[in-house]
Structure 1
């Protein structure tokens, strides 16, 4: 939890960087807000601070209608923490409690339901059911504001068990009725499309991130037209297609879902794909203080690290991408998609399939030996790369897969597991570091973000090694450090 003095300073300055880090509740009005809420500053004796919106609601406060605290970016703490609390918060945001209950959440985490509840209440001020209830209320609000969907459909799509429970929750959380909440929204949307705004903490170079994803787009499951990036998703209740494009201070996300119950899960995966919950101003300030990297950060502020929408898909990509040209990898993946992918019920332009299921790739020669072993481990549950997995255990299991390269493991660690401190091994990175005459150790704990800036440095050396390696003597093949034709690191 943030210190009180820093919290009050953020409130006085209306600093939006702290939105989502904590919530401000006012005891006189029984309303909770973002720290940046433009309302009159309350007296300190009337303020209570909560780490989550659910904690404020459990204590009897309703969401402010002016600053809409429930729509704030998520706390970056939940994306980077690898302990029980961080893993539980990510799983709850993905909808695991709605689908499998608290028992299912506890089973995924390897703890008893009672212990998970106790730890969450102690750390974030609310148990898993209360956190899931807040998530359902936010999903309902998105559906109500996005179009004329019937109230009953909104209630069940958001995960509520009954209309009465839905109405009571909306009144308690937002102090209004569902019909009035709809009246304050964005109006009607095209049939079959749900459009939402995804908030983030500035700065963020949205076009650069979408272009990065588009440069590696695989035909059949992804498409980039220079402005918008689209891709298919495999979701708990069906397939979906999302389209992301820059907005004014937000990302516009259009979703076409086979089952509206997948709305919250799809939105959460979009947020992880675009790294929207990062505290980018703090990251840029840290990396910008480095003498070597500082000019690059100043020239391109807001570069985010792309995540992933499908852990299995990204893991297979990483395996196939090692020491392979990007065009070749794209052709290999496009072949897997067209041959083994699941066709969409309703194709959307160039998006026609969902990436193949891991159980199918486990028996596919086209995936290669390492790809088949990886797919088999993911299919039978031996290896888990979801938001609730233990990153340390996942890395160990990845190293045990025959043929898994250090580069592929590092790529999975950075983009799937969300590790902010990964420096990819390999000659291109070493060359970039050499040209900067930099010490990568100074970039900890944000080396994954430093990688985004290193990737933009033009490689003028061609195939020649840099000076440091050019003067290194070549080892004979019988040297003890050389095994099977490769040099040990």
Structure 2
């Protein structure tokens, strides 16, 4: 029998208490907006579910709520076979939170615990392993090992049900240390063996290309895929990334090797096709693709808030579910942003394309039918480039080298391990990095949904065309209404300057 709720839960979850009542109301109405925010555990069945589970609503006295699936699993519950809570989109809370817990969750999902252990995770965050464990247990009801174990189980289930990898390869790719650990975990979490789970999937595996791993990445609706892919296409660096039809492809620089991804719309999910030099990089690749496409966002919350402004309401109505494009590599985005200072998008693409062609390593030449791409040059490579390899003003070259050196020597962490405030300070301390660059990177690179570069000329032009204040100070005052989603508002404003994307005809998809 599952244990009762841990005494360290940070919010009340028992009948008669306000947090419990709010969550139970979401369960009674089967509200999909709460999927991924918490799970519902039922004492009488020993099962935990999504809030939107279509099964009969349990009696309040049998219900316990947990912040994470890991906490429910640690308490002895197994995942519901009907609603599959482990397949829900991630919590949008991690988009808004920049504290140690939020950063820890993101790094765990990138596979840091699997690669470096709890000590490595704690070191990235600047805490002792014991203090980090206490923080996570107090906040989420589970420590780093339990969270990592739950993430491995979730990744394995996705591979078992949507791909055709051998089960031994699934265990390896999901981060398990042994087949026994893999089998035991799957049986404990899902109440089925891996073979039984695959047999009960109820759907045919995705058609896999040679050497590829196929996944369906869940998201929340609405999801403005045409707008998102148009944004990526306009900024695509030749040789590094491309858009073909309605699919986006790019090279990946991963912890254990190189890789490539191909992302496309797939109804209620994103189809993700991955080619990896090392299957153990799967968790990192999936996490980066999710971050790039902002798949864990809550579009209804964003749109509702921005829609309170009558000017933005027109833009939101035209493109509901617009996402904040992220990045697969914070360092890469920083270099691209510095190169793009005071030049056109086309000009920056040309410079970056030459940089990739000359100094990026080939990725995946041996995959039949898949265009060869090149990875983005490593920070050590960029820091050592001669002046003639960087056709830019001297001050910008100095800024680029300073940035690359800071990432190479570990002074600057642009991939989620450091506090946003500290990253901002360290960026501003580098030569040639100003507030515009920092705010742009904070939004797309650090995942700050409230960052907005109000001095941006494009934003000011869009504001003028829409009848909003166009000076930086006036725009900042108006933008205060849009908090905590100002980065999304900026995306709407920039998009208002460009032609609306035309959906790709069905026969071209």
TM-score, structure 2 as length reference: 0.88
Report the Cα distance in structure 1 between the residues aligned to 2:125 and 2:362, rounded to whole angstroms.
Answer: 33
Q: Which moved more, 1:188-197 or 1:373-382?
A: 188-197
Moved more, 118-127 or 177-186: 177-186
TM-superposed deviation, 1:84: 1.1
Quick one: which of 260, 266, 276 aligns to 1:257?
Answer: 276
Q: 2 CA distance for matches of 1:329 and 1:428?
A: 16
1:453 to 472, 482, 492: 492
Aligned partners of 1:141, 1:261: CA distance in 2, in Å?
A: 15
Q: How has the CA–CA distance of structure 1 residues 433 and 147 changed in structure 2, closer, same or farther, with 3 Å as cutoff?
A: closer
Q: Show the 5 A alignment for 1:220-369.
A: 220-346=239-365, 349-364=370-385, 365=387, 366-367=389-390, 368-369=397-398
Q: 1:108 aligns with which of 124, 139, 147?
A: 124
Verify the 8 A CA contact 1:433 1:440 in the aligned structure 2: no
How much has 1:345 moved relative to structure 2?
A: 4.1
Give the Å deviation of 1:175.
0.4
- Equivalent residue runs for 1:14-413 within 5 Å: 14-185=30-201, 186-187=204-205, 189-346=208-365, 349-364=370-385, 365=387, 366-367=389-390, 368-413=397-442
Distance in 2, matches of 1:113 and 1:344, equals 36
Contact 2:412 2:423 in 1 (8 A): yes
Give the 3 Å change call, closer, same or farther, for CA 459–301 of structure 1 in structure 2. Answer: closer
Retained in 1: the 8 A contact 2:362–2:372?
A: no
Would the alpha carbon gap of residues 240 and 459 (structure 1) be closer, same or farther in structure 2, given more than 3 Å must change? Answer: closer
Quote the Cα distance in structure 2 between the aligned partners of 1:90 and 1:146. Answer: 23
Q: Deviations over 1:8-47 (max 9, x none)?
A: 1111111111100000011111010000010011111111
Measure how far apart 1:330 and its partner are.
0.6
The answer as to whether partners of 1:222 and 1:350 remain within 8 angstroms in 2 is no
Deviation of 1:405 after TM superposition, in Å, equals: 2.9
Q: Deviations over 1:101-144 (max 9, x none)?
A: 00101111111101101111110000000000011111222222
Asked whether the 8 Å contact 1:423–1:447 carries over to 2, the reply is: yes
SS in structure 2 at match of 1:14? coil
Partners of 2:114 and 2:339 in 1: CA distance: 35
Whole-angstrom CA distance in 1 between matches of 2:164 and 2:244: 29
1:202-258 CA distances to partner (integer Å, 9 max, x unpaired)?
A: 111112101211111111110102310011111112111111111111111111111
Q: Cα RMSD (Å) of the superposition?
A: 1.6
| TM-aligned CA deviation for residue 298 of structure 1 | 1.3
TM-score, length-normalised on structure 1?
A: 0.91
* Distance in structure 2 (CA, Å) of the matches to 1:143 and 1:301: 31
How far apart, in 1, do the equivalents of 2:37 and 2:440 lie?
28
Shift of 1:347: 5.8
Report deviation, 1:407.
1.9
- The 2-side partners of 1:428 and 1:210 are apart by 20
Quote the Cα distance in structure 2 between the aligned partners of 1:346 and 1:54.
39
Unaligned runs of 5+ in 1: 461-489
Unmatched runs of 5 consecutive residues or more in structure 2: 1-10, 14-18, 391-396, 469-477, 500-509
Deviation at 1:164, TM superposition (A): 1.4
Q: Which residue of 2 aligns with 1:415?
A: 444
1:328 offset after TM fit, Å? 1.1
Structure 1 runs (4+) deviating above 6 angstroms are: none
**Contact 1:140 1:155 (C-alpha < 8 Å) held by counterparts:** yes
In the aligned structure 2, how far is the partner of 1:153 from the partner of 1:441?
Answer: 49
Count of matched residue positions in the alignment of Structure 1 and Structure 2: 460
Which stretch of the first structure deviates more once superposed, 7-16 or 35-44?
Answer: 7-16
Q: Which moved more, 1:326-335 or 1:178-187?
A: 178-187
Which residue does 1:467 correspond to in 2? none
Q: Does 1:430 align with 2:460?
A: yes
